Every structure is written in structure tokens, then in C-alpha cells.
Chains A and B, each alone.
Chain A
Amino acid sequence: MYSNAYKKLVSLPPLLWVGLFLLLPYALMLAHSFWAVRDGMLVRQPDLHNYVTLFSKPVYAAVLVRTMRIAAAVTLCSLLLGYPLAYYLSFHAGAPKELLYQLVIVPLWVSYLVRGYAWKTILGSEGVLNGFFEYLHLTHGPVAFLLYSPFAVVVMLTHIYTPFVFLPIYAALEHIPRTLVEASEDLGAGAAQTFLRIILPLSIPGLLAGATFAFVLSLGDFLAPLLVGGASSTMIANVVQSLFGAAYDRPLGSAISVGLVIITVSLLVLSERLEKRWRYQ
């Protein structure tokens, strides 16, 4: 029913725009990753030396491992907080369920910076938590490791990504037919058995989606280490940032970025495959 002119008119502007302002920039980054900087000048001679550098200098592997460990810790903590919350809301919350659900998702869109800053004021050596400990006479003098440590980064990112993890898990739990749960209980399974053999397996797609969100989003974060992490928790995106800034090696920074994109996209694809395999029906 739509004419060809109509179809052209609606598809051409976004195609051109996205081609110019997204595809071209991403392609430029890919191209940079094969170029080099010599004497402060960009040399457009494509080769693989940036990638060779990444694999041959152990410092990059070390930062990547640290980043992965932080991201894994964030994922695990978000799951440990998000899953029981989702389970409680879906199966036990009763009437206030809808309101509680909205209370969990509101922070999802609320200022990353404000929430990060909140942790900075709480964990600092003269922060709220240390003040609280002193007040209770639990400690004498500030506990310093709270802020400017990988611990602080994990706490801050867990706080930010728990609602992200909660959402798909809650959705998966809501989709479990309650008749299955009833049948299991009628047939004599205890609550634990019903959970382990019915509810948990059926919620795996949601769990995977949530875990992937948390891991992937943490992997590329560079603001949390700057805000609460300090030098001991430099992550891979901070290396990219410094290569684009003071260190002035955009090609090497681009190569790391390309690596980050490859890791991110492969994880998303892998998680989508796994989710499909675990999907009910």
C-alpha cells in the first residue's frame, strides 16, 4: 500500500545519516587500528603492528584480566542481589508487586554520575561510612581501602547494574506458567526441589541476559575507575582513554577498542545462542 516514493523518502535520510555519523566513524576507528603514529604524526600505512603490540606486551593482558575480573565480580554480585529480588517480587510479593517493580526500574534510567558520586561520598576516607564506623567506635582512624580500590569500582557498578540484571530475570520468572509450579508441589516436591528443578531452569534465559548486560556494560566502563577506583583499578577503557589523550597513540587505542568491540559482540552473540537453547517451549 505504500508507494516506492514513500519508501525511499522514509528510508533514505536515516540510511544516509547513520552511514555518515555511525558507520563512517566506526570504520575510521577500525582503519586507525591498522595505522601508526611516528614522531607525533599519523602514518596511514596499514599493518598489524598495533595488534602485535597488544599481544606481545604483558601489560595489556594484565589490564584486560583485571577488567574481566572486575566485570565478573560485578556480574556475580548483581546476580546475587538481582535474582532473589526478582524471585521474591514474582512469586511472593503479593499486591504491592507492581509498585515494587517500578521502584526497581526507576533507578535504571537515573543519573549514572549522581549514583557514582553518592558512592564516592560514602566510601571516602572522610566519608559517610567511615564516619559511621567511628561513631559506633568500631574503628579508630579511617578505613582507607574502601575508596580508590577495585572494591569501590565493584560496589559502584553493582549498584548501577543490579536493576539491569533484575529486569530480564523478573521477566523470565513472570513467564513461568504457575500451573507448572503447582503441579510440582502437588506431586510432592518441596519448595527447594521446585525451585531447583522447575523455576531455576526456566529462568536461565533471563539470568543469562542479565549476566551478559552486567558483564558487557562493566567491561567497557571507564568512568567508575576514574570516579572511585584510582590507579589500582585502571580498566581497559582507561588505557584506551589515555592513549587517545596524553599518550597520543590513537592507532593503538583504536586497536584496543576494536578488541573490546569484538569481545562485546561475541559475548552478546554467544549469550543470545545460549538463551535460545534454554528457552522454554
Chain B
Amino acid sequence: MSGHCRNRRGPLLLVYAALVFVFIYLPVIVLILYSFNRDGVGGFPPRHLTLAWYRQLFADAPLWDAVANSLKVAAGSVTLSLTLGLLAALALDRASFPGKALFRRLVLLPLILPGIITGLSLLMFFVFVGAQLSLFTVFLGHGTALISVATTELFAGLQKMDRAQEEASLDLGATPWQTFWRVTVPNLKLSLIAAGLLIFTLSMDEIAVTFFLTGRDNTLPLEIWGRLRRGITPEINAVSALILAVSVALIVIWYRVRTRGLGADARELLERP
């Protein structure tokens, strides 16, 4: 049936779809292309291709400090949000407590609300409790906001899990603690990896919340943001190209892990980011 459909409307639609792909990918390709351009970030065509900007980038100490800061924050956020997200997913899956419906919605709020709202709320909270803004407050902000992602992913994982295994473990005399580490966690391994990768990527790239919570030390996106105001060189293109390469790699791994972990139903869950 789609055969004769394709014959009549196919070509036009194909061209349109191809153009949309061009729109999605061309800016990024242009960006990478100009990271090799000797004469700056604009103009046409790019001339005098060079690796100078990459050399400059690798020698740029403040930039690498920012990378190190981002890595610290992201590693911390992954740990924090996976831990709390796992507990939250278990609680939502297995316990009933007053305010459960509210809790479920509250956890998801940082995903739904504009980043500026979550960022400013946390800023006021830190001011309120007298905390000094630093990478630590950024970490608390990321870790808390991304519990939403961990909870969603791990809750989906728990729903797929066969509870009989846990039951068997408990019946055979294992303590709940042993059962948790030897049955529950290994069963959730793929969901944990998938959630961890996603949280890591999102934390590395976060600006809206970080913008308000950072002290003297910059994360990588904020360091780039600061440089954009001081005039731009293809060095920013070069660092962007590297960021893109790393995040595409992580996302592809994430997608593979997740599809494998959840089987045929993965698509169903992926429909709603």
C-alpha cells in the first residue's frame, strides 16, 4: 500500500525530509568546518585550513581547568542523582506513603520547568541558608535536578524486572540487604548505566541552573559562555567540535544500552523525553 503512495507523493516529501535533515545537521557541520579555518569563525568559503586552533585549545590552561571542574561536578551529580533516583524509583515502585503523588510530580519539576526557575529557586535557598556559591552548590543543583532523569529511567527498569527473583532470594534466606546488592542492583545494571550516561551528558552541558549557582570557578559551558562575550575565535569552534564528538559518543552508547536493556518497549519509553 505504501508502494503507490510513495510513487505519487514520495519525491516531494523525500526532498522536504532531506532539507529538514540539512537544517538539523548543517549548522553543526559548518561549526566543525570553521574550526579548521585560519581566518576566523565567519566568511565564505573557509580558506587556509589549519590545526592551529586545536593546538591553541590544547595549550589553553583556563579551558582545561573548566573541563576538570565540569568533570568533577558531573561525576558528583551522577553519584548523587543515581543514588537518590534509585531509592526514589524503589519507593515509587514498592512503597506507599503520604504525598506519593505529590512526590512523583515534584521530582519531575526540574525537567518540566524552565531551568531559570530551578536555578533561581536554588540560588535563593543557598542565600537563605548562608551557603557560599561554589562548584559544590553547582553539584548540589545538578545532582538534585537530575534525580528526575534517574528516577524516570530506573523506575522504567524496575517495571521490567521480574520480582520472583527477589522473592526467591528472600525465601532462600538471603537478607534484604544481600538481596538488594545481589539481585536488585545487578538486574538494574543496564538502566543504571543508561541513566548514568545521560545524567553525565546533561550535567556536562548544563547552563541555565549553573549560571546562577556558580561561584568563582567556571564549568566548561560557562567558560565558553564568558568567552563568547569577549569576541570569538575558531578556538571556540574547536572546543565545540570536541564537545560534540564526546556527547554524540556518549548518547550513542546510551541509546544502545537502553535499547538492549529494555528490549522492544524501549521505543515506547523513548517517546517522551
Contacts and interface: CB of A to CB of B under 8 A. Distances in A.
A281 interface: no
B56 to A, nearest CB: 17
Interface string A155-183: 00001001110011011001000100110
A128 B34 contact: yes
A3 B95 CA distance: 10
Main secondary structure of the interface of A (DSSP, over half): helix
Interface in A114-169: 114-115, 117-122, 124, 126-128, 130-132, 134-135, 159, 162-164, 167-168
Interface residues of A, number: 100
Contact of A162 (B24, B34, B117, B205): B24
A28 B2 contact: no
Given A25-B122, A85-B20, A126-B43, A110 B30 contact: no
Interface string A75-113: 000000110110111011100000010111111111111
A124 to B, nearest CB: 6
Contact of B123 (A110, A170, A244): A244
A14 B84 contact: yes
Contacts of B163: 1
Contacts of A221: 114
A134 B28 contact: no
B187 to A, nearest CB: 15
For chain B, the bracket of interface size reads 35 or more
B236 A117 contact: yes
B94 A88 contact: no
B176 A113 contact: no
Contact of B228 (A107, A112, A115, A117): A117
A111 B106 contact: no
- Greatest chain A CB density within 10 A among B44, B207, B255, B270 is at B44
A211 to B, nearest CB: 14
B51 interface: no
Interface in B70-105: 84-85, 87-88, 90-91, 94-97, 99, 103
A107 B1 contact: no
Given A1-B167, A121-B31, A182-B1, A111 B270 contact: no
B181 to A, nearest CB: 13
Interface stretch (B11-19, B60-68, B188-196): B11-19
B106 A23 contact: yes
Contacts of A227: 228
Q: Can you list the 9 inter-chain pairs with the closest CB atoms, starting with the nearest?
A: A220-B114, A131-B44, A11-B91, A25-B121, A7-B95, A171-B271, A14-B88, A25-B125, A118-B27
